[in-house]
Amino acid sequence: PALACFSDFTEMMRALGYPRLISMENFHTPNFMLVSEVLLWLVKRYEPQTDIPPDVETEQDRVFFIKAVAQFMATKVHIKLNTKKLYQADGYAVKELLKVTSVLYGAMNTKRVERADVSEEDSSKLKFDLGSKIADLKAARQLASEITSKGASLYDLLGKEVELREARTESIARPLEINEAEKMMKIAIDCVLEQVQKTKDMLNNVALDEASLEAKIEKRKLELERSQKRLQTLQSVRPAFMDEYEKIEKQLQKQYSSYLEKFRNLTYMEQLLDDHRRIEQEMFEEAANMLHLTQNRLKEEEQHLLKSGNNDDSDVEIQEDEGSDSEVEDRQIMKQRTTTETLLQG
């Protein structure tokens, strides 16, 4: 019985136009995604505008989905479904799904029988009536828009009726005087005649303006022709100073080329001069550093000689008198000076 039930379910779903093929292997294990998809498709077949959330990712979403589908089937289709078996999503769920599909399948079969009774002529008439109904629908929409706009304008006019009613009643109650009416008609006729005269004057002015514009256009055309002829003569005639101009232009080209060559040479020489000055400055700084080092070294040697001379004087004082000591010191100082001058000259 379970196998027959499952085969009936697959055949009904195929007949109802379900886009996916369903086999027995799909329900050997719980397949809640397929069950939810089939339930949602069946609900849409019953009522396409139904708003049932298709989210079945979590357990809470699945419980809410099954409850919403069961409530819909109970209220709209009057079919009681077992929510526990639907939640199992196995072979027992197929029996619950079969309750819904059998109702849809029966309704489809009855509809097919009714369609078979209808002849071809009736079907052609039905199509023709449908086309005429579409045209009538468009006309009804247009009339509805016109009625809306006319109603809005009528509402505005009715709002002004309170003010216009008094003026209308006063005008109706006032007696009509022929003299006054004749006077108003004469005024209106005079206004119309004045407007006609103005229009005639404007037409005459337009004719005069057209004639003046045509005269100006002819004058401009003649001026343009004269200018073109003068331009052609000027282009054909070679100026007297053109030969001299071309000769001077050639000389200018030569002078410019020589100027460029001299400018390049001058730039190169300036660069060489800058390099030479830089090298001389470096050599001068190096010589100054060497001289400074030499002076420092000479000062150190002189201090060293002075220290050694003082030690020699102390030894000589024991053997010699003061006069001899001063002579020895003078000799040493002169010797050091000559040595220092020789080094500085070198």
Domain span at residue 199?
177-243
Residue 33's CATH number: 1.10.418
Residues near 12 by beta carbon (within 8 Å), at least 6 away in sequence: 98, 101, 102, 104, 105
Q: Is residue 225 part of a domain?
A: yes
Same domain (yes/no): 91, 20: yes
Same domain (yes/no): 107, 202: no
pLDDT digits (tens, 9 = 90+) for 173-182: 777 678 877 8
Q: How confident is the model at residue 253 (pLDDT cuts 50, 70, 90)?
A: very high
Same domain (yes/no): 229, 294: no
Same domain (yes/no): 102, 20: yes
Residue 123 tokens, joined: 């079907």
Q: Is residue 102 part of a domain?
A: yes
Query: CA-CA-CA-CA torsion for 155, 159, 160, 165, nearest 10 degrees?
Result: 110
Overall domain count for the chain: 3
Same domain (yes/no): 210, 292: no
Same domain (yes/no): 192, 85: no
CB 64 within 8 A of CB 53: yes
CB 6 within 8 A of CB 98: no
Same domain (yes/no): 52, 101: yes
Of 96, 112, 128, which residue sits at a domain end?
Answer: 112
CA 308-314-316 angle, 5° bins: 105
Same domain (yes/no): 206, 285: no
Over residues 167-171, the mean pLDDT reads 81
Q: Is residue 33 part of a domain?
A: yes
Q: Which of 243, 244, 246, 226 is CA-nearest to residue 234? A: 226
pLDDT digits (tens, 9 = 90+) for 151-163: 888 888 888 888 8
The rounded Cα 6 to chain-centroid distance in angstroms is 57
* pTM (two decimals): 0.34
> What confidence score (pLDDT) does residue 26 get?
74
Same domain (yes/no): 224, 291: no
Whether the per-residue pLDDT at 216 is higher than 60: the answer is yes
Q: Is residue 211 part of a domain?
A: yes
Q: Is residue 53 part of a domain?
A: yes
Q: Decide which of 119 and 37 is more confident.
A: 37
First to last CA, the chain: 132
The rounded Cα 120 to chain-centroid distance in angstroms is 58
Same domain (yes/no): 93, 184: no
Q: Is residue 2 part of a domain?
A: yes
Q: Is residue 130 part of a domain?
A: no
Q: Is residue 88 part of a domain?
A: yes
pLDDT digits (tens, 9 = 90+) for 278-304: 999 999 999 999 999 999 999 999 998
Same domain (yes/no): 41, 100: yes
